[in-house]
Each structure stands twice: as C-alpha cells, then as structure tokens.
Structure 1
C-alpha cells in the first residue's frame, strides 16, 4: 500500500464514486485519488489525466515503484479531449473553478452526454455550476460540503436527467444539503449571515454609499434567511 496524504476532499470524493468498470480522474495532479481507488478495488480500470506531463510523471513514478497497482493508465489531456471509447462510467473533475469545469463540459458536450456519472468539486461559484448543470440536462443526485484549510468545498455527483430547483437558496447553497440539514452548511450560512450584516452596517455609515451594492447585500441576506429556515434559525 502506498503511503498517501489524502485530503478530506479526496476522501469524500472517493466515498461518492460507485462501483464501476471505468472511472476517469480529470486533472489528477499527483494521482492520489486514482491510487486510493485502485487500492479500494471498486473500479476495474482507472484513467488518470492531467494537462501537465510533469504532474503525471509523479504518478507514473509511484506506479513503477508499486507494480502491484496495474489498473491505472495515464494520459496527458486538456479536459476530456483525449478520453476515447469505451467512455468511463464515472468522471471526476475536481480542484478547479466552476467556469473551467463548465468550459471542459462545453468543449466535449457530445462526449459528456455518454458518461453516466460526473463528480465535481468546484473551488469557486458553485451556484453557477448548479445552474449550468440543470440547463444542460444533469440532475444532482448527491452533494457534500467539506471544511478544510479554513474553507468550505462543495462536492456534487450528477447523472443525466432533467431537474430544476424552484428557489435561489437551492442554487446558491444546495437543495440536498439544505434538505439534509448539513451541519457544515449551517455553519457556513451563519458565517455568511454575519459577514453580510457587517457589510450592510459599514455601507450605511458611508457618505457615498452605493445603492446597487446595498440591494445586492439585502438580496444575499434574504437568500440566507430562506436557507436558514431549513434549520429554523433566523
């Protein structure tokens, strides 16, 4: 067994991956997730891709030193561009911004439609990703929120299906997390409530305050209040 320093995020992603024939980790970096997957025996074949040959070479070296791991293949690839048939059952795209994730899906939209399950871990603007997924025929089937390195990280699992949310709080903070009264989300919501209330008070004291910015903060506080209703905290 290879000694790895796996983050909370990687461990949570690992838990979301179902047993399958082929899984691909897009932007694998040093390949920690593929190695954990290989050791778990959950998937028959694992494809590790990265745009950087240098990063992939670190994984290749680990595999050469551990020949008992023989079901991981490595590909230098920008997004899904070098993924070929038979397509993976599960694709993981993690550790990048939502807009880059959307760009990867857009550039390979026909290919993406052939993949049963995607698991995303966006670092920014997760609400934009949720909107994009619904606009393009994806259903969010599972979601987690991990607190690590003083930040909250969303992890979403999706399948091809039609779904729409009917509230801004669902897109902003995650319908499944709210319905499950996720404790990390509760803490995040209270942090955001305090942050926006402080901003609102600061703006009120300014001589040349921006009404547009005040309206934006009021809307954010309304969305937070709607979300906190799930916890009966306002």
Structure 2
C-alpha cells in the first residue's frame, strides 16, 4: 500500500522529525502525519492526540486501514495533558494559532515529560511565540518557510537540550548588528519576527514573503493620511524598515 500523501506544509513538519523518534502528535486531525512517520521508518511509535472525538475517529479508521494499530496509539487529549512522562521524546504540533500553542506548551510541560525535540507550526503571533520560546530556553535549531495555496507557513524545530556553543538566534542577532548597524534589542525583535535560521540561511521563500509584505505595506501607506493616522504610519514604516534590514542581508 502506498504511503499517505501529505500536503507540502505537513510534509515539511514530518521532514523535521529525527529518525528513530517516539512521537506525540498534538492535534492529529486525520492521523496522516503519524501514518507517514511510521511508514517511512522515521518514528518507532506515535501517540496521536486530538481534543475532538470526530477527528480522532477518522484518524482511527485511517490507522486501521494502513494496519498500524500497534504502532499508532490514539488518545483523546487537550494538548499534552494525557501524555505520560517518558512516552515520547519528540512532539509535533502544526496548524493552530500561536497563542493556543503557547498554552499547550505551558500547561503540557513537554520538557518535564521527556520531550527534547518539538516540531511546531504556529499560524499566528509569531513574534510572541518565538519570544516565549527564547524566554523558556527552547532553541530553534531549524526552520522552513512554506508557501501553499496562497499562504505562507513557518515550520520550526525546537530543542530543549541544545548543546551548541552559540544558538542560531544569537548568531543571527550578531549578524544583523554587525552588518546592518542595528542595536541588539531591534535585532532580537527582527529574529523573533522572521526567524533566526531563515535569516541565517537567506531562505528564498522568506525572501518572497518579505517582498510580498513590503508591497502590501506600500499600498497601505499610500491610502493613509499623515495627519489622521500618524501612529499607524509610524508602525508601518518601522515594519517596513525591519523587512528592508533583512532583505539587505541577501
């Protein structure tokens, strides 16, 4: 039987999972990512969890269809609440808002449960999300920017046990400060907005996204009156400056 066909976004998430992992898939939906991970011999075992019974039932049907009942365990769970300590070393959480994902990480205590690698794809609040990771010593060590069906998605691999001499964020901040003359605080903000690894890698899809955002802001600025929207204009100009700073690194 052929393996499941993942969307480009979910394929990117799966590709960041280390081989030999024991995975907790949070918000498994149809169960396609766990099936793919097992069939490709990337994961040894998956606990596939969802907060809703409907998606879990569909996932159960798909898992059974592929004969993977013994390798994929399905569990009704709000985030990581029903995951036991030591059951997984890797977590996948894709396709939900950044604030919800932050709540799952805060309440679920993944590090305390033995999770060392997190594959995360927040769909909003990226600045707050990356700031949260940094403040909790969770290091982004890989990132992917995906364009699918007219939308941009950011995939990140996060480590709780990063052991390098310098984190990608520190490296990217240093590069922005040295090459662009920014102060450190602004360089950190730029990294949290656009992603340290994507910036270091000069990611081509990130560049497309930046150029797209720049054109959007230009159109907004043309419509605003300086007298009526001073604060709004200042905010957009600052956002444009962040973008041009990153583009100057390419």
Q: How far, CA to CA, are the matches of 1:217 and 1:186 in structure 2? A: 18
SS at match of 1:230: coil
- 1:68: Cα distance to partner? 5.3
Which residue matches 2:209?
Answer: 188
Q: How far, CA to CA, are the matches of 2:139 and 2:3 in structure 1? A: 36
Answering whether residue 236 of structure 2 is matched by residue 217 of structure 1, we say: yes
SS at match of 2:124: coil
Please show how residues 121-200 of structure 1 align to structure 2 within 5 Å.
121-160=121-160, 161=162, 165=170, 166=173, 167=187, 168-200=189-221
Q: How far, CA to CA, are the matches of 1:3 and 1:140 in structure 2? A: 29
CA deviation string 1:69-120 (max 9, x = no partner) = 63110000000000002231110111000000001011123x4343100010
Which residue matches 1:67?
Answer: 67
| TM-score between the two structures when normalised by the length of structure 1 | 0.91
Which residue matches 1:112?
Answer: 111
Q: Which region of structure 1 is more displaced relative to structure 2, 173-182 or 58-67?
A: 58-67
SS at match of 1:95: strand
Answering whether residue 249 of structure 2 is matched by residue 230 of structure 1, we say: yes
Q: How far, CA to CA, are the matches of 1:33 and 1:125 in structure 2? A: 24
Q: How far, CA to CA, are the matches of 1:66 and 1:198 in structure 2? A: 50
Q: How far, CA to CA, are the matches of 2:68 and 2:103 in structure 1? A: 36
- 1:40: Cα distance to partner? 0.7
Q: Does the aligned pair in 2 maintain the 1:20–1:90 contact within 8 Å?
A: no
SS at match of 2:224: helix
Q: How far, CA to CA, are the matches of 1:214 and 1:93 in structure 2? A: 36
Q: What stretches of structure 2 of length at least 5 have no aligned partner?
A: 174-186
Q: Does the aligned pair in 2 maintain the 1:91–1:119 contact within 8 Å?
A: yes
Q: What stretches of structure 1 of length at least 5 have no aligned partner?
A: none
Superposed CA RMSD? 1.8
- Residues 21 and 187 (structure 1 numbering): CA distance in 2 closer, same or farther, change over 3 Å? closer
Q: Does the aligned pair in 2 maintain the 1:53–1:76 contact within 8 Å?
A: yes
Please show how residues 36-115 of structure 1 align to structure 2 within 5 Å.
36-67=36-67, 70-109=70-109, 111-113=110-112, 114-115=114-115
Q: Does the aligned pair in 1 maintain the 2:26–2:93 contact within 8 Å?
A: yes
- 1:65: Cα distance to partner? 2.8
Q: Does the aligned pair in 2 maintain the 1:94–1:121 contact within 8 Å?
A: yes
